Amino acid sequence: MVEKDVVEDKLKIDNSDKANLDYKPTLYDINQYFDTLIVGDDLSRMALFTNWILAERPVFMSGPRSSGKTFITDHVASLLNENCFTLSKGSDKSGWYQAEGFLKCTHVKVVEYNKLPADMLETLKDWGEGKNSTYDVTVENPITKRKYVRKYTLPLRPFTICLADENDTVIPVELRSRITEVRTDSSVDQNIKVLTWQANLAMKPTILDNGKINLTDIKTHLSTLPPLDKFEYKHPAADIFLNSIPTLFTDCRREFPKYLYNTYGIARFHWKERIILKRDKKDIILITPQDMWLNHIIFGKTLIDSSMKCNSVEKEIVSILKSQTDELTVNMIQKKLRERGLNINSKTVKKHVENLADIGYASKTNPIGQNSLYFASEFFHEFNFDIDWEKVYQKCRETVEKYYPDASSQYETHLQSSFIVHPFTGEKIDILSKKKTGQQTIEETDIKL
C-alpha cells in the first residue's frame, strides 16, 4: 500500500501586497549590512545574495579551508530571518524525516555536503534540475504497528553547498554543471584584512554599528518580494550579452540562463521601481539597463569562471604555465602561486592543475620515476569582452518599441537616466560614461580571463 503525501507549498503565498512601496533600498544598502559582519569578499557575498536569495538558484560556495565559505553563507542567510533550513548529516533517509523543516523554509543551506546521506544527494540533484523531489519511505503506524509506504514530496528549494578545496568529496558533474560556483577570496591581502579585523576586535570596545541601514526595513522588503514565478521577466537586450559567454563547452547553454536569472533576481529586488505590464496569463516585468549593469558588475566574473570551467586559482595556474618556457612540477607551481600571494597546499594545487589537464587547458608528461610535469596547452586562450552600454540602451529602446509598445513611453524614463548607485562603493555611477568612477571591484566595461 502506498500512501501519497500531497504537499501544498504554503511558502508560495504572495505577500507583496503588504510591502511598503515607499521604501526602495539599493544593493549598496545590502552591501553596507554585510560590511558590519563580513570583512572583504564583496563579490562572493553579493553574488551569493543575488543568485541564491533573489534569483532562487542553487549555489556552490568553494575555496580553501578557513576561507569563510560557511561564515559568508550564514551571514547572507541571516537576511532570511528563520526562513533558511540547514540540511544536516544523518543516516540514510533521515533527510526525509526533516520534511517539515523544509516546508517551513524558503531556502536551504548545506554546510557538510560530504556527510549527507545518499537520499538527500538525490534531492539536491532533483532541485538542481529545477524540479520537486519525491521518494518512497517505509513508515510504521504508531497505533496499529502496520508498515506502509509513504510518498514524500519535497518542494523545490534554492540551496547552497559549502565545500573546501581540500575535501576529497566530488560533486557529481551533472549536478555541478547546474549550480553556480562562487569562490571565496583566498588572497594574502584578504588574509591581512581578516587578521586586522580580528586584532581590532581584540583591542577595541565592541560596538555594533548598524546605523547606516535599517535592518528591519531591509528584512521586511525581502520578505515581501513577489514570488519569482509571479511574473514573466523580459530582457530587452539579451542578445547583446551573448558575446559575454565563453562558448568552448556545451555547458555554456546552462551558463547563460544563470546569467539571465541573476538579472531577474536583481529586477525583482527593485520591483517597486519597475514597469509591470498587465497580461492575461502572467504579468511581465521589463528588465532595465540598470539591472543589466548591476548584474554585470556583481555576476560577470562568476559567469566567466563558470563558463570556462576555470576558477580564479586555476586562472593563476594557467597564467604561470603560459609565462614559463619549461615544464613545471606541482611544487614549482605552488612556489609561484605563493609569489603571487596565494598560499595553497600542494594537494590542492595538484587537484587544480589536474582539472586543467582534464579539460585541456594544461598538458602533462609523466617521466619514469618522477613527478608529472605540466605546461600550458594550445587550447587555452584569453577571453575578453566589452559591453557597449550605448548599444544596450539603443537595443532596449528598439525591443520595447517593437514588442511592448504599450510600455515604450513609460520605459523611456529608465532610458533617460544612465545613473546607478554602485553596489560596492555607494557612488553614483554614469553607466554611459567611459570614465571609471570610484574604487571598483571589477571594471564595469571590461572583464578579462
In a domain, 210, yes or no: no
**Of residues 147, 129, 145, the one with CA closest to residue 137:** 147
Q: Grid cell 519525491 — which residue? A: 134
Q: Grid cell 547553454 — which residue? A: 253
**Number of domain units in the chain:** 3
Adjacent-strand bridge partners of 362:
376
Task: Please give the Cα distance from 321 to 323 (Å, whole number).
Answer: 5
324 and 304 assigned to the same domain: no
In a domain, 213, yes or no: no
185 and 264 assigned to the same domain: no
112 and 260 assigned to the same domain: no
239 and 317 assigned to the same domain: no
Task: Please give the Cα distance from 362 to 60 (Å, whole number).
Answer: 24
Contact 75, 61 (CB under 8 A): no
Q: Tell me, what's the pLDDT at 15?
A: 85
In a domain, 249, yes or no: yes
Q: Tell me, what's the pLDDT at 369?
A: 58
Answer yes or no: is pLDDT of 440 > 60. Answer: no
Q: Tell me, what's the pLDDT at 53?
A: 94
Number of other CB atoms surrounding residue 123 within 10 Å: 24
Structure-model confidence comparison of residues 64 and 94, the more confident one: 64
33 and 66 assigned to the same domain: yes
> What one-character DSSP code corresponds to residue 226?
P
297 and 354 assigned to the same domain: no
pLDDT in tens, 130-171: 888 887 777 777 788 788 777 777 888 899 998 887 777 777
Domain limit, last residue, from 159, 188, 203: 203
Answer yes or no: is pLDDT of 205 > 80. Answer: no
Q: Tell me, what's the pLDDT at 247?
A: 67
In a domain, 62, yes or no: yes
Which of 24-33, 61-70, 371-380 has the largest mean confidence? 24-33
Domain containing 86 — which CATH number? 3.40.50.300
**Could you tell me the three cell numbers for 224?**
515581501
Confidence at 449, pLDDT banded by 50, 70, 90: very low
- Weakest-pLDDT range from 5-14, 74-83, 328-337: 5-14
Contact 270, 69 (CB under 8 A): no
What is the CA angle 170-171-173, rounded to 5?
110
Confidence at 341, pLDDT banded by 50, 70, 90: confident
- Weakest-pLDDT range from 17-21, 67-71, 420-424: 67-71
The mean pLDDT value for 184-199 works out to: 84
Which of 56-65, 132-141, 171-180, 271-280 has the largest mean confidence? 271-280
In a domain, 304, yes or no: yes
The mean pLDDT value for 412-429 works out to: 90
The mean pLDDT value for 221-245 works out to: 89
Confidence at 4, pLDDT banded by 50, 70, 90: very low
Q: Tell me, what's the pLDDT at 95?
A: 56
142 and 41 assigned to the same domain: yes
Q: Tell me, what's the pLDDT at 249?
A: 66
Range of the domain at 119: 2-203
Q: Tell me, what's the pLDDT at 380?
A: 56
pLDDT in tens, 177-186: 788 888 888 7
Domain limit, last residue, from 336, 357, 376: 376
- Weakest-pLDDT range from 4-13, 39-48, 300-309, 331-340: 4-13
The mean pLDDT value for 256-268 works out to: 91
CA atoms within 13 A of residue 204's CA, in its CB half-sphere: 9
192 and 284 assigned to the same domain: no
372 and 398 assigned to the same domain: no
Answer yes or no: is pLDDT of 114 > 90. Answer: no
In a domain, 197, yes or no: yes
Q: Tell me, what's the pLDDT at 370?
A: 64
In a domain, 215, yes or no: no
Answer yes or no: is pLDDT of 333 > 70. Answer: yes
What is the CA angle 307-308-310, rounded to 5?
120
- Weakest-pLDDT range from 180-184, 260-264, 265-269: 180-184
To the nearest whole number, what is the mean pLDDT of the chain?
A: 81
Answer yes or no: is pLDDT of 278 > 70. Answer: yes
412 and 367 assigned to the same domain: no
163 and 146 assigned to the same domain: yes
Percent share of the chain, pLDDT over 70? 85
Task: Please give the Cα distance from 67 to 186 (Å, whole number).
Answer: 6
Q: Tell me, what's the pLDDT at 280?
A: 85
10 and 104 assigned to the same domain: yes
The mean pLDDT value for 50-59 works out to: 94
Q: Tell me, what's the pLDDT at 275?
A: 92
**Could you tell me the three cell numbers for 398?**
528598439
Domain limit, last residue, from 376, 392, 413: 376
